[in-house]
Structure 1
Amino acid sequence: MGPALLFCPGDRPERFTKAADRADAVILDLEDAVAPADKEAARQNLIASTLDPATTIVRVNPVGTPDFEKDLAAVRRTPYRTLMVAKAEDPAAMEAALAGFTVLALLETALGVVRAAEIAQLSCVAGLMWGAEDLMASLGGDSSRGPDGSYRGVAQHARATVLLAAGAFGKGAVDSIYGNIPDVQGLEIEARDAAASGFAAKACIHPGQVAAVRAAYAPSEEELAYAEDVTAEAAKHGGVFSFRGEMIDGPLLKQARQTLQRAGR
Structure 2
Amino acid sequence: MSALKGPTLLFCPADRPDRYAKAAARADSIVLDLEDAVAPADKDGARQSVVRALLELDPAHTFVRINALDTPWGKDDLAALPAHTMVMLPKAGSAADVRACAPRAVLALCETAAGVLAAESLARTDNCAGLMWGGEDLIADLGGRSSRGPGGGYRGVVLHTRTQVLLAATAAHKYAVDAVHLDISDLEGLAVEAEDAVAVGFRAKACIHPSHVAPIRAAFAPTEAESRWAREVLAAAEIRGAVFRHGGRMVDAPVLAHARSVLAALESADDEPPSVAGNHTAHHTRK
Deviations 1:57-100 (A, max 9, x none): 00011124331111012212xx75211001000212421x1221
C-alpha distance in structure 1 between counterparts of 2:177 and 2:97, whole Å: 22
Residue aligned with 1:264, SS: helix
In structure 1, the partner of 2:138 is 135
C-alpha distance in structure 1 between counterparts of 2:217 and 2:66, whole Å: 26
Structure 1 gap ranges (5+): none
Residue aligned with 1:27, SS: strand
In structure 2, the partner of 1:61 is 67
C-alpha distance in structure 1 between counterparts of 2:69 and 2:237, whole Å: 48
Deviations 1:11-44 (A, max 9, x none): 0000000000000000000111110000001111
C-alpha distance in structure 2 between counterparts of 1:127 and 1:119, whole Å: 9
RMSD: 1.1
Q: Is the 8 A contact 1:6 1:26 kept in 2?
A: yes
C-alpha distance in structure 2 between counterparts of 1:18 and 1:73, whole Å: 27
Deviations 1:154-212 (A, max 9, x none): 10000000000011111110001001110101100110000111000000000111001
In structure 2, the partner of 1:235 is 238
Residue 18 of structure 2 is aligned with which of 14, 18, 28? 14
In structure 1, the partner of 2:256 is 253
Greater alpha carbon shift after TM alignment, 97-106 vs 126-135: 97-106
Deviations 1:107-162 (A, max 9, x none): 10011001100111000001000001000001111211112211001100000000
In structure 2, the partner of 1:209 is 212
In structure 1, the partner of 2:184 is 181
TM-score scaled by length of structure 1: 0.96
In structure 2, the partner of 1:37 is 41
C-alpha distance in structure 2 between counterparts of 1:261 and 1:127, whole Å: 19
C-alpha distance in structure 2 between counterparts of 1:222 and 1:198, whole Å: 19
Greater alpha carbon shift after TM alignment, 60-69 vs 5-14: 60-69
Q: Is the 8 A contact 1:86 1:106 kept in 2?
A: yes
What fraction of aligned residue pairs are identical, expressed as a percent?
53
In structure 2, the partner of 1:193 is 196
TM-score scaled by length of structure 2: 0.89
Structure 2 gap ranges (5+): 269-287
In structure 1, the partner of 2:171 is 168
C-alpha distance in structure 2 between counterparts of 1:188 and 1:120, whole Å: 27
In structure 1, the partner of 2:275 is none
Greater alpha carbon shift after TM alignment, 157-166 vs 236-245: 236-245
C-alpha distance in structure 2 between counterparts of 1:144 and 1:64, whole Å: 25
Aligned residues: 262
The letter for the 2-side match of 1:16 is Y
In structure 1, the partner of 2:282 is none
Residue aligned with 1:8, SS: strand
Poorly superposed stretches of 4+, deviation over 6 Å: none
